[in-house]
Amino acid sequence: MTMSEIQNWHGTTIILIRKDNDVVVAGDGQVSLGNTIIKKTAKKVRKIEKRNVIAGFAGSTADALTLFERLEAKLEKHAGNLTRAAVELAKDWRTDKYLRRLEALMAIADKEKSFIISGTGDVLEPEDGIIGIGSGGNFALAAAKVLMESKLTAEEIAKKAISVAAEICVYTNNNITVEKI
């Protein structure tokens, strides 16, 4: 999987915001197949209550859900250590014959750390506490960077960033789901 393949995935916008003591992941609800909207109310963000971890995913929904389950298992195995779980998931994703075919990106966070995980083995931690993935991810990321200087909360910034992406990206809608820790 090349970075150009990742950038060409359509169908979602996920934004992760870390501001003050809040960590928020927000995603839109649109699922598209080609140029047809299949569903408007998909939930692309999840919370692992037991470990106080939130995640958003972009790409194939079934693939992302498989990866989310694997992340949950890695968190259990590594006693909630998000960094270790993320690295182990990325290793498996890159080397496992079945997982290698999964097409998704994940934005994950706990109270201390945030990461983007990809099938190419990348585990990237943003310097500024903001992650944008999916077809509208760069639009949401740009909006969030500007809004971080405002008095808005992390949740308000995430919602506004998704709304901006929805105005630009045809694969993004305003049906926003938010998870917060």
Instruction: Identify whether 41 is a catalytic site residue.
Output: no
Contacts for 118 with CB less than 8 Å, ≥ 6 apart: 1, 6, 90, 93, 105, 106, 124
- 159 Cβ neighbours under 8 A, 6+ residues apart: 26, 176, 178
Catalytic residue among 2, 12, 13, 61: 12
Beta bridge partners of 56: 45, 107
Structure tokens at 83: 């960094």
Residues carrying an active site annotation: 12
